[in-house]
Amino acid sequence: MTGSVWSLLLVAVLVALTYKRAPLKMSAISLGIFAVVAFVGGAATTIAVIAALVAIACGVLSLESFRANTITRPIFSLYKKILPKMSETEKTALEAGTVWWDGELFSGKPDWHTLLDHPNPSIPPEEQAFIDNQLATLCSMLNEWETAQNGDLSKEIWDYIKKERFLSMIIPKSYGGLGFSAQTQSHILQALTVSGAAFTSVGVPNSLGPGELLLKYGTQEQKDHYLPRLADGREIPCFGLTGPRAGSDATSLPDTGVVCKGVWEGKEVLGLKMNFEKRYITLAPVATVVGLAFRMFDPEGLIGDKKDIGITVALLPRHLEGMDIGNRHKPVGSPFMNGPIFGKDVFIPLDFIIGGAANAGQGWRMLVECLSVGRCITLPSSGAGGGKYAIAASGAYARIRRQFNVPISKLEGVQEMLARIAGNTYTASAGARVTAIAIDEGHKPSVPSAILKYNLTEIARDIANDSMDIHGGKAIIRGPKNYVESGYSSVPVAITVEGANILTRSMITFGQGMIRCHPFVLPEMHAAQQNDLKAFDKALFGHFGFIFSNFSRSAVLNLTNAAFTSVPVTGPTKKYYKQINRYAASFAVMVDMCAFSLGGELKFRELISARLADMLSKMYLASMVLKHWEDQGAHKADLPLVEYSCQKLFSEFETAQDGLIKNLPSRPVAAILRVLTMPLGRVAKAPSDKLVAKIVDLVTSHNETRERLIAGTYRGETISNGYAETLRNPLAVYDGLLDRVEQADVIYKKIGTALKADKYDEATLSIEGRITDGVKMGILTADEGEFMLAFEKDVLDMVHVDHFPLEHFGPVAENQDTPKKAATTRKKKADASEPEAV
């Protein structure tokens, strides 16, 4: 063999060993054998020597004790010097929650069994019965227009929410709560997206708030007192974290609690004098108990030597002297209860701290641990539920709304939006459902919570925009008939709360994931902090092997478009699993190269961090889509939704990947990344027009795919008394119209043929007139005419928008003439111009 062939063989061996992540000893033996074979086989001496030297290096490096003392020790000393110090709040945030599928994606070589072997439980019968009965009843009572006019949910609705314990889904049955699974909570909240006020009022107490904090950290006395009262609605909770000077930077709380002595119930006790100002607090105006986060200080050393004790969380009854609560904010889009809370020299006993005095200073840990679960359920449910409602309504509306003598669902501009709503809804539903099941299995997925919070609320924004555009004029006129506007108007709330999306994308998702999910970064940091050379050596050389392996995997998978990577599935989705393997290898390389080239500066390069967060998010969501399809029975009819979702997510992944490479400050590193991760350029293609048309056919007619996509939306016949009369549920009406639309299409076609043959009088422009005349002329049968008139009546009812008397919106301005007022004015002027009688 020629020298070139031997060189290629050596490269192939090195790539194979790193690709398979072979241990150092195995690599040493393999390369030693190659060196001998190459020497005997007549290869150039240089080839054999290189192989032998690499084999010796691997062999030496496999001697852990020698390696640690001669190679790792100086690196360890330097690492400890440059390792930035972390505050306790940063450590707490980074170590909160657990690592699940997100860790597999960071590994560069995801083990698909971790996800595919994940359970697929159905909702328990008792919880399903609640969904079928109490939830359906509550949904039938909700009318967002009526709520907007009244400024709150009705007393009847509030009483029903409390009576049926909707506020206690997370409270165990032993305390009188419902004790529902995370999957059921998500299902309920998705259905309640028909009303922003109901969704928020139910969602917040079941997310971050006093209930969850008490469950996890409260004293037994606190649990026994508060949890039953929270469960049955005697207590309404709120939680005060955000203030005028502490929004996204929640750790910079200016609110204080100073340890002092005071009088409580006639006795002198140790307690806290509190001063605080909170805003944007959901349920505050009606709350009876306030969870409050504040900075605790002990300047006189009354409970210990530490002066600045740190962030603490306490429960404050509403009636406390010095606390001002009851005013309201007016959130955009939905009139849910929200308002400020003020406190001036409010005294509470130390027992009011959640968990008692022993939990003083533990508030930040408590909050971030709770957020890792709550953010996976409540706000992601708004994206999934809002999407289901939007596609159920928009798909049907586009099918029955005709322009240019065809349903608007046949217009390609509308089709593009319908497909986008459907694909986004499928993605959001998959992410919300599969991650909720992970919570039920005991995971506390902090990084996925950030992924879902950001991506699913942004999906909700895109869905709302598309739905508004499809409905056109119907969506921009407010009134009881407008089922689109409230969701559109209230989207910014979800975007902003529980960690603003800008912050979540640019700082939290990747910043936390890099340390929490990377297989070696956190072990290296822990080893340095504990001054453990042996542990650091193991992590460091594991990290080196990890980097070399991902270099090889990325190069091979990208050059072959993942053709030879193995995945544990067969069938039409196999190619998507392979692509995620390719992307994971590329992502792992980019993470380490960005960290290498930017060092500590990476923390402040938010656009770089944001693009890495986007890459991680798209892989995570695509994985959820694939798992969701398998869990639902791998129905072939649903494949267009899977294909659209994956293709869209993959295209977005490569957009972020390409953007990162173009903007990485170190151009040599960027060039290496371009060669390793995008040697063939952008490969992913956006969904085709043909695929878009397939999806539109699925979401604009009755079929099992549409039923699975919109499962969980309330489709009962009526909703509560509206502004003027009892309203029919739009989704129920649309279900009836879709049942009849194909029969109507045949009749439309007959009328169209007759029009082309000039059988109609041109003066007959209305469809009702053409139906009536068509029966008279024998173009239509009497039964067809009767059917069509009833069908058109229902269509027109859904197309109509509301109109109100002019006086409905308040007194008319003095300088504004109404027709009635103008006539009166003209008469007065005419009278004034007549001469006075003598």
Select the more confidently predicted residue: 65 or 411: 411
Average pLDDT over residues 425-431: 97
CA atoms within 13 A on the CB side of 704: 8
Give the pLDDT score at 812. 65
Amino acid at 28: A
* Structure confidence at residue 314 as a pLDDT band (50, 70, 90): very high
Select the more confidently predicted residue: 280 or 809: 280
Residue of 133, 227, 138, 131 whose CA lies nearest to 186: 131
Select the more confidently predicted residue: 68 or 627: 627
Give the pLDDT score at 168. 94
Give the pLDDT score at 209. 79
Give the pLDDT score at 588. 95
Give the pLDDT score at 737. 95
Q: Which two tokens mark 26?
A: 């195995």
In order of 99, 117, 195, 452, 728, the CA distances from 449 in angstroms are: 11, 21, 23, 5, 37
**pLDDT higher than 90, residue 197:** yes
Residues present in the chain in total: 838
Select the more confidently predicted residue: 190 or 4: 190
Say if residues 584 and 636 touch (Cβ distance below 8 Å).
no
Choose, from 146, 498, 652, 784, the residue flagged as catalytic. 498
Give the pLDDT score at 193. 94
**pLDDT higher than 90, residue 60:** no
Average pLDDT over residues 304-328: 93
d(CA 247, CA 497): 10
**pLDDT higher than 80, residue 521:** yes
Give the pLDDT score at 88. 66
Q: What pLDDT, in 10s, does the model give residues 686-713?
A: 999 999 999 999 999 999 999 999 999 9
273 strand-pairing partners: 258, 347
Average pLDDT over residues 210-234: 94
What pTM value is reported for the model?
Answer: 0.92
CA atoms within 13 A on the CB side of 463: 33
Q: Lowest-confidence range among 310-314, 417-421, 444-448, 664-668? A: 444-448
Q: Which two tokens mark 637?
A: 């009819």
Q: Lowest-confidence range among 257-271, 399-413, 510-524? A: 510-524
Give the pLDDT score at 720. 62
**pLDDT higher than 50, residue 833:** no
- Asked about 458 being catalytic, the answer comes back as no
- Tell me the backbone φ, ψ of residue 264, rounded to 5 degrees: -135, 120
> Between the CA atoms of 373, 378, 379 and 385, what dihedral angle is there, to the nearest 10 degrees?
130
In order of 21, 656, 658, 722, the CA distances from 664 in angstroms are: 28, 12, 10, 56
Average pLDDT over residues 661-673: 95
Q: What pLDDT, in 10s, does the model give residues 467-483?
A: 999 999 999 999 999 99
What is the H or E stretch that residue 720 is in?
strand 718-721
Give the pLDDT score at 813. 60
Select the more confidently predicted residue: 812 or 462: 462
Tokens 């289901």 correspond to what residue?
388
Average pLDDT over residues 259-277: 94
**Beta strands 256-264 and 289-297, pairing class:** parallel
Give the pLDDT score at 838. 28
Give the pLDDT score at 119. 93
* Structure confidence at residue 86 as a pLDDT band (50, 70, 90): low
* Structure confidence at residue 100 as a pLDDT band (50, 70, 90): very high
Give the pLDDT score at 122. 93
**pLDDT higher than 80, residue 721:** no
Average pLDDT over residues 106-135: 95
Q: Which residues of 21-52 are buried (b: 16+ CB within 10 A; e: fewer)?
A: bbebeebbbbbbebbeebbeeebeeebbebbb
- Average pLDDT, rounded, for the chain: 90
d(CA 171, CA 448): 24
Which pairs with CB-CB distance under 8 Å and at least 24 residues apart come from 572-577?
Answer: 572/636, 572/639, 573/626, 573/629, 573/639, 573/642, 576/622, 576/626, 576/642, 576/646, 576/650, 577/112, 577/626
Helices (H), 401-508: 412-440, 446-471, 473-476, 485-496, 501-503
Q: What pLDDT, in 10s, does the model give residues 754-790?
A: 999 999 887 778 889 999 999 999 999 999 999 999 9
d(CA 199, CA 79): 49
Give the pLDDT score at 820. 56
* Structure confidence at residue 827 as a pLDDT band (50, 70, 90): low
Give the pLDDT score at 380. 93
Give the pLDDT score at 823. 53
d(CA 83, CA 756): 80
Tokens 């489709």 correspond to what residue?
715
Say if residues 614 and 665 touch (Cβ distance below 8 Å).
no
Q: What pLDDT, in 10s, does the model give residues 543-591?
A: 989 999 999 999 999 999 999 899 999 999 999 999 999 999 999 999 9
Give the pLDDT score at 834. 41
Q: Lowest-confidence range among 227-231, 251-255, 301-305, 491-495? A: 251-255
* Phi-psi sector, 304: left (phi>0), alpha (psi -120 to 50), beta: left
